[in-house]
């Protein structure tokens, strides 16, 4: 993700234990952040259907960005967005529907 130097990422350094790399370009004013988020463990016997899980994850990320367009601009809010999206995808994995009925706006 590319963010402006005026974000909290500007004060961050790459952190192997935090699973992210922060890189600043020369002169362009942007920062590129690459972060790995491990998948939530879901016991195979609890998975009902994989249909819609990826769509649910993406929809949750987008819904979070609609609520907070600057959500990617600091490490804490990015982590919350991804954690919420993964939790939503897990609910869908455990549902017979393409989107879990337990998800709502």
Residue 60: half-sphere exposure toward Cβ, Cα within 13 Å: 25
Residue 5: is its pLDDT beyond 70? no
**Residue whose token pair is 């879901």:** 42
Domain range for 87: 38-105
Q: Which of 4, 23, 20 is nearest to 75 (CA)?
A: 20
Question: Residues 5, 45: one domain?
Answer: no
Question: Residues 26, 58: one domain?
Answer: no
Question: Residues 49, 28: one domain?
Answer: no
How many domains is the chain built from?
2
**Residue whose token pair is 């769509």:** 55
Question: Residues 45, 17: one domain?
Answer: no
Question: Residues 102, 66: one domain?
Answer: yes
Residue 93: is its pLDDT beyond 70? yes
Write down the pLDDT at residue 8: 84
- What pLDDT, in 10s, does the model give residues 39-56? 999 999 999 999 999 999
- What pLDDT, in 10s, does the model give residues 10-34? 888 899 988 989 888 766 677 888 9
pTM confidence score:
0.85
């Amino acid at each position: 993700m590319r963010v402006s130097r005026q974000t909290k990422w500007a004060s961050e350094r790459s952190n192997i234990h935090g699973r992210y790399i922060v890189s600043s370009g020369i002169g362009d004013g942007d920062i590129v952040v690459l972060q790995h988020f491990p998948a939530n463990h879901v016991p195979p016997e609890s998975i009902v259907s994989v249909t819609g899980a990826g769509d649910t994850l993406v929809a949750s990320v987008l819904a979070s960005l609609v609520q907070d367009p600057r959500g990617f601009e600091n490490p804490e809010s990015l982590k919350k967005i991804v954690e919420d999206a993964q939790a939503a995808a897990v609910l869908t994995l455990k549902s017979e529907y393409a989107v879990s009925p337990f998800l709502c706006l």
